[in-house]
Structure formats: structure tokens, C-alpha cells
């Protein structure tokens, strides 16, 4: 099932972008084997295994990576895989005996995907950090927030998942495609600082034209303009406005019962503060649902700001089945869609070691070997 059926990925269990990348592979039909540790590690997640949605779609084997026998188990899995992904600080897998040199010696076509905050080299490569730190260093965090106030972290979406996990998947897939023609694997060095910065490359274009201010909420797309922002409604909820193009801008003004001639020229930044204040007054005259009904099916680029619960029940999202209940947990369905090789959700998130024996058999281990590994607690 899915366009990546037949591809095998070994995931060394970690947190954040690594599991997210593995989930994307599994969602698209790849066989993903999650290697958990026998020793309980602090992965920063307190969720019960079945609720850790990012671990969906794959099986788990629990291995003692501090033992030579455990490392040998992983290397035997690696020898039959297309790629391995890991999210440790530089040098950790080398110290375990599972670094790129060792793995590529076992499997010359292997793509070794490495996910870190700052990359495998450079003066900060071994420094600890999280999403907020990575996007701060990339210059992205400084762009997000209200005028005159501190930067606002956009959850952990820009560094961990957008600039991290998605770029790791992209890099690994590029490596797999190239390896099929060259017969040679390679290392993919995915750094969240660089991925996050790349997501903002359009802003660098604006900067090159001297059309981007370093001040927050002073630009078209950062809440600085009156036509691209959120506005509170009469009932304390919000509408999201994105009327950038002239035809949408004019339609928005008409639906707000405002004279378009009084809000021109649209890109006169000196008028934006007073026009934003006027928009704020108008939007408070109706409830969010009243505005939604008024602007529904109109090309004004005005939509309600929904809660997570409301998003699951919105007619469009329901028609697209964008949210699904899988293994008893509401979650986001796999994306994007495919016309022929449609992906579908399969396994629920596993407990550590839930499929150890099954995986070992599949990778050619004899029953006697499996019993020996389990009795010796090399594998649980």
C-alpha cells in the first residue's frame, strides 16, 4: 500500500523530527522498523505508546545497543535496508558502533539519514538545543510575533517538522533514488537550522529587493498589513484574513461594507495602522459564525480560525477525510493524496519491542538465535 511500498527503513528511536520523518515514510507504505532501546531512554515524551501518534504505521524491536550482540542485530537489519535514519548528536552512532562507515561497509547502497539541530560539522554541531533554538539561529524566529513585542515560537512546527523531518525525508528519498542508479549509498546531513532557514527563502528574496523590514509585524505576510492578519469577532473568536490580491481585497472591503476608495493604495504602509484599527472595529460587530456565513463561497480570502476540535468537524475537512480515528485516536490522515497508490493507515503506534521476534524472523534470524537473544536480554 502506498507509493513507497517495498522500501525498507531502519529508524533508531529518537524524538521530534526523527519519528515524524519515520511516520511520513510509513504513511506512504514503506516498511519502517523502529529500533527502541532495551534500557528506557528519556525521549522527552510522556505519552502512552498507543497515543504517540508519530510512531504509527511501524513495528518495534527493542535492542540492547550497549552490547556487541545488540549492535550486530541492528547491522543485520541494516544489511537489508534501503536507509537508516537517526537523530542523535554527532558522534553518538559512531560510539555505539553503528556509524555511517560501519553501516555502509555492511550495505554499500545504504542511505544514512542524520537529523540534528546544527548539522554534523561546525562549532555548534554538538550543542544541545530544541526547535526554538534552531529557528532562532536560522533567523526565522525573529520574523514571527506582534509589533513591539517579543518573538513568538510557532509551536515546534518550523524547526522540528518543517525544517527537520520533512527535509530529512526529502534528502533520504533523493539518496535512495540516486543509489538505484549509482549502486552507492551516502550520508544525508539534515540540519534543522538550515531547513528552517530554507523555508524562509522567499523572505530572502523580499530582502534582496529591500521590501522586507526586520521589525516584526511590519510586512505584508507577518501581520503588519491590514489585509493579512487575524481579527477578533463579537463573540471573542477570530477571523483570518488573507486578501493580498486586488480582486480579493476589493471583495473583502465590499463584504465588510467599507468603501474601497477609502482604503487605497492598498500597499501604503503609512496607512496600515489606521486601517487595521478600522478593520478591528468592523469585525467586532458580528460573531465569527456570522462573518463566516457572510463570506462563505466569496473570493475574499476570509475564513474562521478554528480550534482543533472544530477543524475535525468542518464540512470540507470531513469531505476530504482529512482527520480520521485510527486505533481509537483522532489524528491527521496521511498526506498528500495519490490517485493510484493510495496510502492508508495500518499499524497503531507500537510498544517498545512489541514485534521483536516477528522482525527477526522476517530478516532471516533462526528461531534458536531469537530465543538466545531474548533469553540473554539482547533483544526484548
Lay out the sheet containing 228-232: strands in order across: 228-232, 238-242, 302-304
130 is a catalytic site residue: yes
Is the domain defined by 8-199+324-375 classed in CATH 2.40.50.100? no
Yes or no: say if 43 and 18 are a contact pair by the CB < 8 Å rule.
no
Terminal-to-terminal C-alpha distance of the chain: 29
C-alpha cell at 168: 530529512
Chain centroid, CA 184 distance in Å: 28
314 is a catalytic site residue: no
Of 17, 69, 60, 61, which is closest to residue 349 (Cα–Cα)? 60
- Cα–Cα separations (whole angstroms), residue 227 to 235, 249, 250, 307: 21, 7, 10, 22
| Domain extents in the chain | 8-199+324-375, 228-232+238-304
Alpha-helical segments (H) within 190-346:
192-199, 201-208, 246-255, 272-283, 288-295, 308-313, 315-320
Q: pLDDT tens-digit profile of 63-90?
A: 999 999 999 999 999 999 999 999 999 9
- How would you class 15 by CB atoms within 10 Å of its CB: exposed for 0-12, middle for 13-18, buried for 19 or more? middle
CATH node for 228-232+238-304: 3.30.1540.10
Q: Find the catalytic residue in 160, 189, 222, 229.
A: 160
DSSP 379: B
DSSP 155: T
Yes or no: say if 98 and 64 are a contact pair by the CB < 8 Å rule.
no
- Give dist(CA 87, CA 164) in Å, integer: 10
Q: Using alpha carbons only, how large is the chain's radius of gyration in Å?
A: 25
Q: pLDDT tens-digit profile of 19-68?
A: 999 999 999 999 999 999 997 654 555 688 999 999 999 999 999 999 99
Q: pLDDT tens-digit profile of 135-180?
A: 999 999 999 999 999 999 999 999 999 999 999 999 999 999 999 9
Burial code of 160-193, b = ≥16 C-beta within 10 A, e = fewer? bbbbbbbbbbebbbebbeebeeeeebbbbbbbbb
Which pLDDT value is given to residue 1?
83
Q: pLDDT tens-digit profile of 271-306?
A: 999 999 999 999 999 999 999 999 999 999 999 999
Encode 44-77 in three state secondary structure. CCCCCHHHCHHHCCCEEEEECCCCHHHHHHHHHH
Please list the residues that pair with 10 across neighbouring strands. Answer: 33, 84
Amino acid at each position: 500500500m502506498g507509493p513507497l511500498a517495498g522500501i525498507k527503513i531502519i529508524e533508531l528511536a529518537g524524538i521530534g523530527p526523527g519519528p515524524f520523518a519515520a511516520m511520513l515514510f510509513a504513511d506512504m507504505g514503506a516498511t519502517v522498523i523502529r529500533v527502541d532501546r532495551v534500557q528506557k531512554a528519556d525521549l522527552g515524551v510522556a505519552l502512552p505508546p498507543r497515543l504517540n501518534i508519530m510512531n504509527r504505521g511501524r513495528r518495534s524491536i527493542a535492542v540492547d545497543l550497549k552490547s556487541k550482540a545488540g549492535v550486530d542485530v541492528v547491522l543485520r537489519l541494516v544489511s537489508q535496508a534501503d536507509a537508516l535514519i537517526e537523530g542523535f548528536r554527532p558522534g553518538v552512532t559512531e560510539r555505539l558502533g553503528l556509524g555511517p562507515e560501519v553501516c555502509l561497509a555492511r550495505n554499500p547502497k545504504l542511505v544514512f539519514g542524520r537529523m540534528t539541530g546544527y548539522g554534523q560539522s561546525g562549532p555548534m554541531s554538538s550543542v544541545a538545543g530544541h526547535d526554538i533554538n534552531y529557528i532562532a539561529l536560522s533567523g526565522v524566529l525573529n520574523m514571527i510575533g506582534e509589533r513591539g513585542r517579543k518573538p513568538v515560537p510557532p509551536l515546534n512546527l518550523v524547526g522540528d517538522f518543517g525544517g527537520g523531518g520533512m527535509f530529512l525525508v526529502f534528502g533520504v528519498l533523493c539518496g535512495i533514488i540516486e543509489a538505484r542508479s549509482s549502486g552507492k549509498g551516502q550520508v544525508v546531513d539534515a540540519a534543522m537550522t538550515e531547513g528552517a532557514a530554507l523555508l524562509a527563502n522567499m523572505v530572502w528574496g523580499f530582502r534582496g529587493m529591500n521590501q522586507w523590514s526586520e521589525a516584526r509585524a511590519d510586512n505584508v505576510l507577518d501581520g503588519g498589513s491590514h489585509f493579512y492578519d487575524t481579527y477578533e469577532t463579537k463573540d471573542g473568536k477570530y477571523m483570518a484574513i488573507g486578501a493580498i490580491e486586488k480582486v480579493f481585497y476589493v471583495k473583502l472591503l465590499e463584504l465588510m461594507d467599507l468603501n474601497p476608495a477609502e482604503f487605497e493604495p492598498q500597499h501604503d504602509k503609512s496607512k496600515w495602522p489606521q486601517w487595521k484599527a478600522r478593520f478591528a472595529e468592523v469585525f467586532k460587530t458580528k460573531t465569527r459564525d456570522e462573518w463566516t456565513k457572510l463570506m462563505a463561497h466569496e473570493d475574499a480570502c476570509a475564513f474562521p480560525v478554528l480550534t482543533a476540535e472544530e477543524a475535525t468537524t468542518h464540512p470540507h475537512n470531513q469531505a476530504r477525510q482529512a482527520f480520521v480515528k485510527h486505533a481509537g485516536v483522532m489524528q491527521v490522515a496521511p498526506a498528500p493524496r495519490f490517485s493510484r497508490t493510495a496510502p492508508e493507515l495500518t499499524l497503531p503506534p507500537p510498544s517498545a519491542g512489541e514485534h521483536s521476534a516477528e522482525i527477526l524472523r522476517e530478516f532471516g534470524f533462526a528461531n534458536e538465535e531469537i530465543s538466545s537473544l531474548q533469553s540473554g536480554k539482547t533483544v526484548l
